[in-house]
Amino acid sequence: MAYEPDMTIIFDFNSKGVAVSFRGKVIYLQGPYPDRKAGVAAGEELCRKLGWLDV
């Protein structure tokens, strides 16, 4: 799976939330997510809903 240029997903270990940067927008998913893997998956799902084609 390849991210688009400037697509970034960052898991915050303190708050258990996720910061997503996608197509010029920054969105914070509060969570809490149990771990980094779950947080990144939530961020990727958000990007899919916003038009990212995971090919």
Q: Residue 24 — pLDDT band, cuts 50, 70, 90? A: very high
Strand pairing class (8-12; 17-22) = antiparallel
Alpha carbon of 24 to those of 11, 14, 18, 20: distances in Å?
A: 18, 25, 16, 10
Question: What band does 55 get if pLDDT is binned at 50, 70 and 90?
Answer: confident
* Averaged pLDDT score across all residues of the chain: 95
State the pLDDT confidence band at 36, using cuts at 50, 70 and 90: very high
CA 55 and chain centroid, separation: 17
Give the pLDDT score at 54.
81
